Amino acid sequence: MTQQNFDALIAGLKTGQIVPYLGPGVLAGVTHKETQAEMPADSDSLILAMNGGKPMAPRLMYEFPRAAMDMELKKGRSFVNKFLDATYCDTQWSRSLFHDWLAGIKPHYVIDVNRDTQLQESYADTPHLLIRGIARIAGTDYRFKLHQYDGESYREVSQEQADTSLPILFKPMGSPVPDATYIASDADYVDYITELMGGFGLPAFLKEYRVDKQYLFIGLPMNRDTERMVLSDIIYAAGKPAGWALIDEPNDKERRFCKRMNIEIVEASVADLLNAAGIAVPVNPAIDEPQLVGC
């Protein structure tokens, strides 16, 4: 991809016409400050971390939701949630170079399917709305939690109370801040995707805002059905093309899916995007920054 094309994508992110859709690849290089272990973000690393560093059966290693379902059946749903809390509440992770760059742009709307807090930390000095997915919960017709951040703390608000002029951070798979909520196991995804398809997974104001938007999929593999079903519903009513996917070495399955979704594949990496933006990517990017409290 040429520098001119990258410049056009970056300009679109800045104006808000192009929405960044973040996958685990944006957390590459994030390490624990004491152990130097990499943050588990992609499916395989999450499964290994959840299972004490040991691989699970091949059918469970296929994707994290399947492995999480197996653990939930054996040890209870709380086991999976406690694992995610312990992983992402830890304040000893280095900062993602990508998120430091994104913090300088602060797009109006960001979608992040990771469960960590780095995106929220990037907006820690900026009032914003936070939308996170919920599943298998009684007492509500909706499958999201909506919080408003005033620059210091979060408070839960209704759709009618929300200041929709604020930047919107959408974390469909959840996060531990301000309170822990996650979409993790197969059962979570079945419930969440069903309600997302039925229109109950998003606030009404976001359904209106997303019309004709285009997306830049960054660090997101597109070879697993669960992630692709979530993506398809979240970007409903997208523009033409629906967006661009940075996939360094796309396989046939990814090519077919992107063609069907009217997403153009850009054979480039997250590092290529950062380099085009003038950010030199070191071998092990790690920047110490204060993190959000609340876990």
Cis peptide before 178 (omega within 30 of 0): yes
Question: DSSP E strands: which ranges in 11-139?
Answer: 18-22, 109-112, 128-133
- Mean pLDDT in runs of 10 for the chain (295 residues)? 91 97 96 94 97 97 97 98 94 94 97 98 98 95 97 97 98 98 98 96 97 98 94 97 97 97 97 94 52 55
- What is the pLDDT at residue 288? 41
- What is the pLDDT at residue 294? 58
- What is the pLDDT at residue 29? 92
- What is the pLDDT at residue 293? 46
- The domain ranges of the chain are 3-276
- Asked if 91 and 186 touch (Cβ cutoff 8 Å), the reply is no
- What is the pLDDT at residue 287? 39
Order of strands across the sheet that contains 214-218: 154-156, 144-149, 128-133, 168-171, 109-112, 18-22, 214-218, 243-246, 263-266
Residue 233 is encoded by which pair of tokens?
């519903």
Residues 6 or more apart from 4 whose CB is under 8 A from it?
none
- Upper half-sphere CA count for residue 189 (Cβ side, 13 Å): 20
- Asked if 295 and 85 touch (Cβ cutoff 8 Å), the reply is yes
